[in-house]
Structure 1
Amino acid sequence: MLATPSRERALSDGRAALLLYTVESLDDWKYQGIWLTSADPVAAVHTPAEIWECPQLVQVPDSSGGSAWVMMFSLWLSGDDHEHANGVGHLIGSLSVDPVSGLPVFVPSSGGKSDLGRDFYAPQIVQLSYGSSPAALLWGWANEGPGRDGRRGRTQEEIDDAGWSGVLTHPRLLSVVDGALAVSPAPEVVAYRGAAVATDAVGSVVVPAFAEVLVTGTGVSSGAVTSGDVELVLVSGSEGDSADRQVVCSGSLAPGEELRIFIDASLVEVYRSGSVATTLRAYPAPGEEWQLTLPGDATADVWELTLPE
């Protein structure tokens, strides 16, 4: 017998809810009741929504040496209009069996955002195992984002003319590190590295339209944040005034910390070690190029992205 959370549902009082079914055969599902709602105090803080879309529950490795259970939701609000302001959230907790009913019981203890970008929604997770250890592999939907956060998007007319809308992220591995969700590119992604464009670069670096960038904060051993931010921008070839400069993402970098940035045409993914990723869409205009600006004590290695042979 398999016990499984069902598709999303909104209750009449406005709570998001997750329903539980048992199944002996995939054509015979038996409803067991409401499993979890957004009225749960931990869920109310970390996964606020009117509907929990795409609910998923997976077991992932924990840095403590064991494993943890992660429940992930796309946080739908009635006023989203495809903007999905609450994005995707998750709960980390324990899974046990009720001694009376024999049904699973999930108790959340913490949670947070599963991605820090506005252009990430409806991820799908595959439960895997590497030997005796659980693993979970995620793909996310990077939807279109016209005008979000001041970044240039595509109009509906441009989307219709192109004939496609939305892309999938690189595959990502999930884990729990020091009680928080950590997201990293699947190791196999390194096969897309092509020719090295820059090694230990400093200052300002021109980045190809399809690239992987590894930024390392050298800094000092005191643990102070490096001076200035890592900034990824689109600039015109003439590097004119500020109107020709679009900041796509920026953030500080601690000594010894690493950022892995992937640029794949209009898709930008930023992975910060020990944290969740940031997924963004940005659309270079004709004559624009990608440029990475580094604080004085950070370096970058840059590779072209190519298809593996």
Structure 2
Amino acid sequence: MRPRLHFTAHSGWINDPHGITYRDGAYHVFYQYVPGSTSWAPNCHWGHATGPDLLSLAEGPVAIAPGDGDDGIWTGSLVQDGDDVRIFYTATSMPDFGIGRIRVAIPEADDWNSWQKGATVAEAPAGLDIIAYRDPFLVKEDDEWRMFVGAGLRDGTATALSYVSDDLDNWTYDGIALQRSTTETDQVWMGALWECPQIFHLGGRAVMVSSVWDDDVLHYAGYALGTYADGQFTADTWGRLTYGESYYAPSLFLDAAEQPCLSFWMRGIADIEEGWASAHSVPHRLRLEGDTLIAEPHPDVAAHRSGPVADGRTDGLGADIVWRAGDGSVAISSGGEETAQIIRTGGSASIVIGGREWSVPVRGGIRVVLDGPVLELSSDAGLFGAAISPAGDGFDIATDSAEVTVYSLV
């Protein structure tokens, strides 16, 4: 079973979205892609998809493939400086693919379907005992460019390394922008490596959002809040953004309204018999409330609604459930079989799917997006995602709360 609104490749494995760019009325999404496989392998390619929104993407040809000295084309970012468009990606080589190098590529045509590889512009700096190095993220700072690269040190310190350039060609290492030891657990544990560390400003604060990695285990998305200047991030707050085992690899982008948003890789969504594995989340728009980073489903999700549905029965396997406030329960079934149950009590929600149960924090209203085999739950306290197995061709949604409204998604 394939979701309709969550992006999946026609076949093969996908993971991290990256380089998401809105241009000339369409979104371009690049992503990690392993063709011909339903499991991850180090020979990743950059896939490419386009669409009017991130819920209506059409898969295109591979944008960048291994070769020319690269055994893998790992995560990176896309920048535009006037007519100058470049991808900065992690080039990996066997056998030590954990320590990559940063290489550039330029488009061969205006459709961005194929890219010509260029020079290597950065490598792991000498003097640091680095065991992992990857995932460049670029931002423009006044008259120069700043690049952050995720690196893990042998002593268990997660870092975002900083580089600076005035022309996108020549880069100078500028030290560690932010670091934290894996032994620190105050507020939230942030692991031994930050994959895809991205630093930006929101609501007058500096924000770093990343994936939390430790000893080859992929955990969740976390963040830091604080101040940033001249390549140095001073954190005063640490937080956790996602729960469950699905969300990973948040990718920052600006939407059509130039508002900051995240898209995630969703693990565990797959149809092995049909030959595809993994999906991308719906896009989430970001805001700050005090010391909390909040991600909420993008307005494009609501644009795909029909309804509301008076009897709780959706037309097809797509639903947007709006739970405005209060305790209670929502039972989701399909084809006469229970699909999921959500029970809210105070500041927590119990989510039961297929005999498994998770407890996640919630605050304020709750949104639940259902799309075939995908469930996404969001509130001001964070995000939860999981795979589900609907047995029918629609959902039946029952609730004991008067504060719940159900829409079909089309």
Aligned match of 1:69: 206
**1:280–1:169 CA distance, 2 compared to 1 (3 A):** same
How far the C-alpha of 1:17 sits from its partner, in A, is: 1.4
Q: 2:297 aligns with which of 164, 176, 185?
A: 185
What is the alpha-carbon root mean square deviation over aligned residues?
3.0
Q: Which has the higher strand share?
A: 2
Does structure 2 conserve the Cα–Cα contact (< 8 Å) formed by 1:3 and 1:104?
no
| Structure-2 residue corresponding to 1:164 | 276
**Residue in structure 1 matching 2:238, options 102, 108, 111:** 111
1:1-309 residue pairs with structure 2 within 5 A? 1-39=143-181, 45-61=187-203, 67-80=204-217, 84=218, 86-96=219-229, 103-127=230-254, 135-144=259-268, 158-159=271-272, 161-198=273-310, 205-207=312-314, 208-217=316-325, 226=327, 229-234=328-333, 237=336, 245-247=338-340, 249-252=342-345, 257-272=364-379, 274-284=380-390, 286-287=391-392, 290-295=395-400, 297-306=401-410
1:64 corresponds to which residue? Answer: none
Match of 2:5 in 1: none
Query: Could you say which residue in structure 2 is the equivalent of 1:242?
Result: none
What TM-score does the superposition give when structure 1 sets the normalisation length?
Answer: 0.71
Letter aligned with residue 260 of structure 1: R
2-structure distance, mates of 1:111, 1:15 = 15
Where does structure 1 lack aligned partners over 5 or more consecutive residues? 62-66, 97-102, 146-153, 220-225, 240-244
Over the matched positions of the two proteins, sequence identity in percent amounts to: 23
Cα offsets for 1:152-209 (capped at 9, x unmatched): xx6xxx42x22221111111111111221111122232210123322xx7xxx44552
User: CA separation of 1:249/1:29 partners in 2, compared to 1, >3 Å: closer, same or farther?
Assistant: farther
Count of residue pairs the alignment pairs up: 252
- The residue identity in structure 2 corresponding to 1:191 is A
Higher relative contact order (CA 8 A, sep 6+): 1
Q: C-alpha distance in 2, partners of 1:126/1:262?
A: 21
Residues 57 and 290 (structure 1), Cα distance of their counterparts in 2 relative to 1, 3 Å cut? same
User: Could you tell me whether the CA contact under 8 Å between 1:16 and 1:50 is conserved in 2?
Assistant: yes
Cα 1:129–1:234, aligned 2, differ >3 Å: closer, same or farther?
A: closer
Q: Distance in 1 between matches of 2:299 and 2:256?
A: 15
Q: Is the 8 A contact 1:42 1:110 kept in 2?
A: no
- SS of the equivalent of 1:189 reads helix
**Offset of 1:293 from its aligned partner?**
4.2
How far 1:301 moved relative to its partner? 1.7
TM-superposed deviation, 1:42: 7.5
Equivalents in 1 of 2:164, 2:298: separation in Å? 32
The verdict on how the C-alpha distance between 1:60 and 1:43 changes in structure 2, with shifts beyond 3 A counting, is: farther
What is the alpha-carbon distance in structure 2 between the residues aligned to residue 43 and residue 26 of structure 1?
Answer: 37
**Deviations 1:59-78, CA, capped at 9 Å, x for gaps:** 223xxxxx222101101122
Q: CA deviation at 1:88?
A: 0.7
* Contact in 1 for aligned 2:156/2:181 (Cα 8 Å): no
Gaps of 5+ in 2: 1-142, 348-362
